[in-house]
Chain A
Amino acid sequence: MDFPILTTMMLVPLAGAIACLFAGNASRVIALGATLVTFGLGVMLWANYEIGGAQWQFQESYELVAGFSYALGIDGIALMLIMLSVFLMPICILASWEGITKRVGEYMAAFLFMEVLMIGTFAAQDIFLFYIMFEAGLIPMYLIIGVWGGDNRIYASYKFFLYTLLGSVLMLVAMFWMVAEAGTSYIPALMEYPFPGGAQTWLWLAFFASFAVKVPMWPFHTWLPDAHVQAPTAGSVILAGVLLKLGGYGFIRFSLPMFPEASADFAWFVFILSMIAVVYTSLVALVQADMKKLIAYSSVAHMAIVTVGLFAFNVQGLEGAMIVMLSHGLVSGALFLCVGVIYDRLHTREIERYGGLSINMPYYAIFFLLFTMASIGLPGTSGFVGEFLSLAGIYQTSSLVALICTTGIILGAAYMLYLYRRVAFGGQKNPDAAAMSDITVREWAMMAPIAAVVLWMGVYPESFLAPMRADIAALDAQIAAAAPASDAELAAGDPRAEAANAIEYDHAEGEGH
């Protein structure tokens, strides 16, 4: 296809952003229009993506800059993450429709710049272009938290900015080394390049510093609860929905294919951090009094399932990690929207201030329930597919890690159901909460699309897995040789002599009992 669709997808929000800077209150409409057009282009992108075709599609390359090139192109993994970004953006704009009253133009412009940079990060095929897009996202996010955030926004914005910056500057030094070594900054070429074993360790650590902060992995996660709590609703949605995915995307695009041996060496390091994250942050989530903080901690726990799946070194693990990322992007985004809906009415995020909302806000309660269940991983929702695949993948590598990470599902059920019971069920103990009206048309328009996709991904995940299958298989083939030893020792058993429910049996030493 000759039409430069990826560049167009970045230019539309860019033009929108510049228009918004000058448009004042009209910028709401401009921003919604720009994000919807971009989403439309995204749908076109998906429709024209040839499953099973070339690994890199929609490639564009221009020599505009000395030192690196403006090269774009996507594979199935990038496609899915771009779809997630462009799908969430119009919803974010809708979520800010009434909540944001001061400096609307600048707010909308910041979001649209964010969209440009997110698409650019996923579509970049030059390692330095990737870095620029990856890092530039700090500026709009810093402004979104700092200008439109809560009471403690300045602390949160500084922490977010400096933490993430410190994480990624070392990655830049590693990139320089890699480009000097391999003689190219083209990502597909770097993915093929065999970096020497000793150097891989250092490179892996430099990239890990950046991605572990972004994901975020325990113990590098402390910026996240602060940033989430202080950010406006839409800021939290984009942070949880897409920005955290940049870390996972980094692992799958750089750390695993470029440094497979180092990844295998450090797999247990990742597993240990992830196991601690699953158990510890779930327990922390259980005692939170602030709804946003609770969901923020649950994000850390869910993203730990992603890192475990990624470093399982097998197809199930990788596919599962990708589906968890997509699912978590939708579900945690939706949960932050649910918090935003009632925050807009009562201006508090204290769980104690609500109660019995299913009586006066039944539709709201249904949506909230659906997203709660999806977060827990109930079969039929997107959360189940991803977590099942991830855990099945990790079981093949280590049954112990699988065992501990599976407790995350139980703990997840505990804190989510506990949250839901306190907010939606029980008596209407607060009169002002009991007087809140049910969701409006605008809020329907935010919730319903996400709910539909969550169910779609839960019932027929093939739509989302199909574009990524070839890429994940290629990645698996590339890293399989370096895979760490498995302790599960799965072996396909011999077929049974007779059916399992045969009445007369002489020998009980078969595979299954």
Chain B
Amino acid sequence: MIDFASSFALVMPELLLTAAGLILLLVAAWGGDKLARPVAILAVSALFGAGVMTVPGLHFGVDGADTYAFGTLMKVDSFALFSKALIYLAAIGCLIVAPAFFNSAAAGAERGLRAEYPVLVLFATLGMSIMVSASDFMTLYLGLELNSLAAYVLASILRADQRSAEAGLKYFVLGALASGILLYGMSLLYGFTGGTDFASVRAGLEGELSTGQLFGLIFVMAGLAFKIAAVPFHMWTPDVYEGAPTPVTAFFATAPKVAAVALTARVAFEVFGGQVLAWQQIVMFAALASIVFGALGAIGQENLKRLLAYSSINNIGFILLGLAVASPAGASAMLIYLFIYVAMSLGSFVALLMLRSEDGNLFETFGDIAGLAVTRPAIAWCLLLLMFSLAGIPPLLGFYSKFVVFQATVEAGLVVFAAIAIAASVIGAFYYIKFVKVMFFDEPAGVATGKSGAAHWVLLAITAVIISPLGYLLTPSLTDLADKAARALFMAV
């Protein structure tokens, strides 16, 4: 017998987001675009409210049997809460910077924030929220598709802009392919184990894997690798990132990454936790390949959004390294990395959104940011911190994220992999310092002169403070939260 009262209590954030999404959808449908701003503000409040709801559970740490909701369909443990909190924060950040972009010339022919934009972000976030607390393949797929469908529309939200439409189409075709692969893997697992919930699939996978089970495992992992854009399933990322409107790109680079990584980790440990050796090599390969290709691919790029797309592939490699370690320390390191990665990506994209001409057009190539240190010193210094942080140079917090991942890797005895990955990170440093070189060493191009709103400045300042050495003061509490989350994840193992 399912206890609905406690189940509903566990999924309060999702209920709030669902209600907010449906109501705001009606408001947007009847009120039209003139209500876009109130809709956006309400969406941010709903996300904030949902975020607040995760705090008690995060603080006290929840794991074990009490966290299951609706039978075994969902599992709202510390791990899910940590991911949710991060997703909500990222979504809030991306909503805050959106109006300035859509109301400027950068939005092209369709100037003005559309009321469905915040609603779509809300639904995408709801999908992610369900993804990270999924404990059954049906819930997983439900959440994944809710997120993906909203994301496809978001990518092509500038209907008149060819690049945006192209990005949406590419994202849709490749995303649908990935969903198909994932669904096929899920059906194989169902067929060979007789269940769709994680616990019974896990029980069915005990002992030697049959060929069908192995195929199921590999298809599921491949489908998820598509979603997190790990090499060799990364090809769509640069095109989608470049084509999508910049606030949407900022969204794609942060919240869905967190959700997809968290989902992958949950599937890897809760479903395939008894067969670690079967997937560890695959994930390790994907991790190292992502680090190397993410770094090499970025070297020739002129477009900053494309470059940050490769940078995200590179970072996913380090995150997967934490997953491949397959230890609680590795999972905790992965979550810490995700937090810092979200701060760095959000900061970088906000800085890109601030590089605009007087009439609001955005700049997104290296040539445009030349000599930014002279013309816009504050943005240039923040970008300098962000880039050195992404490159993992101490004393910035980006170093700490690599620090925890490599520490977990070495402690697990995977010294050779750590050495390869860390040597490859030097290749990545090359293009991050190119950013600094262009901004600080080159003659000013002097084109990015447009003013930015207070919201951008505040977000940029917050992310810059987080990734500065001051951010190290956050690490004790961050480690505490991540350890609790990792412990919850490993309850099943």
Contact = CB atoms under 8 A, between A and B. Distances in A.
Contacts of A339: none
A131 B426 contact: no
B393 A169 contact: no
B478 A66 contact: yes
Contacts of B48: none
Contacts of A67: 400, 403-404, 407, 475, 479
Interface in B432-450: 433, 436-437, 440-441
B288 to A, nearest CB: 14
Given A66-B478, A135-B393, A161-B433, A143 B388 contact: no
A56 interface: no
B422 A169 contact: yes
B491 interface: no
A65 B436 CA distance: 28
A153 B437 CA distance: 10
Interface string A141-166: 01100110000011001100110011
B411 A176 contact: yes
Contact of A173 (B422, B436, B472): B422
B239 to A, nearest CB: 29
Interface SS of chain A: helix, strand, loop or mixed? helix
A80 B410 CA distance: 35
A435 to B, nearest CB: 33
A202 to B, nearest CB: 9
B169 interface: no
A473 interface: no
A139 B388 contact: yes
A132 B395 contact: yes
Interface in B396-420: 399-400, 403-404, 406-407, 409-411, 415, 418-419
B71 interface: no
A26 B472 CA distance: 31
B440 A138 contact: no
Nearest to A166: B426
Interface centre among A67, A136, A154 (most CB of B within 10 A): A67
A64 B374 CA distance: 35
Interface in A117-134: 128, 131-133
A4 to B, nearest CB: 17
Given A64-B472, A66-B478, A128-B403, A170 B437 contact: no
B429 A173 contact: no
B160 to A, nearest CB: 41
B394 interface: yes
A162 B430 contact: yes
B331 to A, nearest CB: 15
A170 B423 contact: yes
B437 A154 contact: yes
Given A169-B423, A172-B422, A173-B410, A66 B475 contact: yes
Nearest to A68: B403
Given A131-B394, A172-B406, A176-B411, A161 B441 contact: no
Contact of A157 (B394, B406, B411, B437): B437
State the majority secondary structure of interface residues on B: helix
A131 B403 CA distance: 11
Given A132-B399, A165-B426, A180 B433 contact: no
A177 interface: yes
B476 interface: yes
Contact of A143 (B429, B440, B476): B440
Of A153, A176, A177, the most chain B CB neighbours within 10 A belong to A176
B473 interface: yes
B425 interface: yes
Nearest to B417: A173
B101 to A, nearest CB: 29
Given A165-B429, A170-B423, A173-B406, A142 B436 contact: yes
A177 B412 CA distance: 10
Given A146-B437, A161-B429, A162-B429, A180 B410 contact: yes
A176 B479 contact: no
Interface in B14-66: none
B429 A135 contact: no
A173 B475 contact: no
A205 to B, nearest CB: 11
B407 A176 contact: yes
Contacts of A177: 410, 415
A194 to B, nearest CB: 20
A230 to B, nearest CB: 11
Interface in B469-487: 472-473, 475-476, 478-480
Contacts of A166: 423, 426
B476 A66 contact: yes
Contacts of A143: 436, 440
B437 A158 contact: yes
B368 to A, nearest CB: 19
B302 to A, nearest CB: 17
Contact of B440 (A146, A161, A173): A146
B327 to A, nearest CB: 12
Contacts of A154: 437, 441
Contacts of B394: 131-133, 135-136
Contacts of B407: 67, 176, 179-180
Interface string A407-421: 000000000000000
Nearest to B418: A173
A142 B441 CA distance: 10
Contacts of B418: 173, 176
B472 A146 contact: no
A177 B415 CA distance: 8
B153 to A, nearest CB: 40
Nearest to B433: A161
A136 B468 CA distance: 12
B376 to A, nearest CB: 14
A65 B475 contact: yes
Contacts of B403: 67, 128, 172
B459 to A, nearest CB: 21
Contacts of A106: 373
A157 B438 CA distance: 13
Contacts of A142: 433, 436
Contact of A136 (B395, B472, B479): B395
A179 B408 CA distance: 12
A139 B430 CA distance: 13
Given A65-B475, A142-B436, A146-B441, A176 B430 contact: no
A133 B393 CA distance: 10
A142 B480 CA distance: 35
A66 B415 contact: no
Given A136-B395, A173-B418, A153 B388 contact: no
A170 B475 contact: no
A172 B430 CA distance: 19
B475 A169 contact: no
Contacts of A157: 437, 441
A170 B419 CA distance: 6
Contacts of A158: 430, 433, 437
A176 B410 contact: yes
A124 to B, nearest CB: 12
Nearest to B407: A176
Contacts of A147: 373, 440-441
A452 to B, nearest CB: 35
Interface of B: 373-374, 381, 388, 393-395, 399-400, 403-404, 406-407, 409-411, 415, 418-419, 422-423, 425-426, 429-430, 433, 436-437, 440-441, 472-473, 475-476, 478-480
10 contacts: A63-B476, A64-B472, A143-B440, A147-B441, A154-B437, A169-B422, A173-B406, A173-B419, A173-B422, A176-B406
9 smallest CB-CB distances across A and B, nearest first, come from: A176-B410, A66-B479, A132-B394, A66-B475, A169-B422, A146-B441, A136-B395, A66-B476, A166-B426
Interface of A: 21, 63-67, 103, 106, 128, 131-133, 135-136, 138-139, 142-143, 146-147, 153-154, 157-158, 161-162, 165-166, 169-170, 172-173, 176-177, 179-180
